[in-house]
Amino acid sequence: MLYPLKFKPIFKERIWGGKRLKNLFNKDFSPLSNSGESWELSGVKENISVVENGFLAGNSLNEIIEVYMGDLVGEKVFKMCGTEFPLLIKLLDTDSYLSIQVHPDDNFAGKHHNSLGKTEMWVVLNAEKDAEIITGFNRDVDRDTYLEYLNSKRLKEILNVEKAQKGDVFYIPAGRIHAIGAGITLLEIQQTSDLTYRVYDWDRKDDKGQSRELHTDKALEVLDFKKYDSYKTNYSPEKNQFTELVKSPWFTTRIMKFNREREIDYSFLDSFIIYSCIEGSCKINYPTGTEAVQAGNVVLIPADLKNITLTPTGNCTIVESYIT
């Protein structure tokens, strides 16, 4: 019988990366000097996650999907995605601003890159004082106005800047301009895609004195120039109950802060479930065993595990993700 699966993190050194994943979640990313990104569960080509627990240890995510198909990911998901896992789960940590960027949607990405688009969301896990997140425009703009501010290096003046705080949630649909500022650690849930169009990279150079590539023309084709009333997801978590954060065609996410045992019934769902533990620890009890989980762990619950029990050690917080 299948069981809750853990995977070996894939660490990524980044020009903007920090070192907090080691202190916050005991992530050993040596010999890298930083870990801007830890890919906790990935089906991205050349970055396929490998199981690290149980009898399937050493097998790649795609290999076990090929064997277990709908039992692992859900019949509907397997029919739709085949052996390509549809979500990518990351932990990010920043010592400086990421580039201002935008991602294409499925149609544009499929036409130009033979790839899925990239819609994503963030849950802020830790933020230093005055840390910033850029998401969307602070006014309605058109192409010419946008280019005027971009070319005069004043782009930030027309962007919506939020002060980041622990617990903040931001949904970033494809087409929305965005950037993560310095001093932020967050959980990112996204489509399986590594497509990023850089708009502006703060005029910085890498260790070889080179500027990173910009994608001005492609960004212009996918940018949503509209101003929205709100960019932050408002939610009011109820203790010991799941609270919905995002419901989209690409993923649904819920959060639960709990301090007592919870029996979970997934008979309503034809999908895998991903648990991202962001605070505390708990045990996942399933019909044939138990799996311990602590902050920083990401666990894939196979679709055929319909009944599990979560037993916290004190207070625990998990973010749940699945496909509807």
pLDDT at 169: 98
The Cα 126–Cα 137 span in angstroms is 24
The Cα 138–Cα 33 span in angstroms is 36
The Cα 38–Cα 27 span in angstroms is 9
Domain membership flag for residue 229: no
Span 187-207, mean pLDDT?
Answer: 93
Span 26-31, mean pLDDT?
Answer: 96
| Mean pLDDT taken over the chain | 96
- How many structural domains compose the chain? 2
Q: Are the CB atoms for 285 and 214 separated by under 8 Å?
A: no
Report the candidate in 264, 250, 249 with the shortest Cα–Cα distance to residue 318.
264
What 8-state DSSP symbol labels residue 60?
Answer: B
Domain membership flag for residue 149: yes
Domain end among 157, 191, 222: 222
pLDDT at 121: 98
Q: Are residues 272 and 213 in the same domain?
A: no
pLDDT at 1: 87
Least confident of 43-57, 151-165, 206-220: 206-220
H or E element that contains 110: helix 106-113
Residue owning tokens 């087409």:
175
The Cα 219–Cα 215 span in angstroms is 6
Q: Are residues 215 and 94 in the same domain?
A: yes
Residue 127 pLDDT more than 90? yes
Report the candidate in 43, 41, 45 with the shortest Cα–Cα distance to residue 6.
41
Residue 207 pLDDT more than 80? no
pLDDT bucket at 206, cuts 50 / 70 / 90? confident
Domain hosting 13: range is 5-222
Residue 265 pLDDT more than 80? yes
Report the share of the chain in percent with pLDDT over 90. 97
What 8-state DSSP symbol labels residue 22?
Answer: H
Domain membership flag for residue 179: yes
pLDDT bucket at 210, cuts 50 / 70 / 90? confident
Domain membership flag for residue 37: yes
Domain membership flag for residue 236: no
The Cα 164–Cα 309 span in angstroms is 33
* Active centre residues (catalytic): 198
pTM higher than the cut 0.85: yes
Report the share of the chain in percent with pLDDT over 70. 100
Q: Are residues 161 and 288 in the same domain?
A: no
pLDDT at 208: 81
Q: Are residues 58 and 192 in the same domain?
A: yes
Span 13-40, mean pLDDT?
Answer: 96
Q: Tell me: the pLDDT tens digits for 281-290?
A: 999 999 999 9
Q: Are residues 187 and 248 in the same domain?
A: no
**Phi-psi region for residue 242, left (φ > 0), alpha (ψ -120 to 50) or beta?**
beta
Q: Are residues 214 and 266 in the same domain?
A: no
Q: Are residues 186 and 311 in the same domain?
A: no
Rg over CA atoms, the chain: 20
Q: Tell me: the pLDDT tens digits for 133-186?
A: 999 999 999 999 999 999 999 999 999 999 999 999 999 999 999 999 999 999
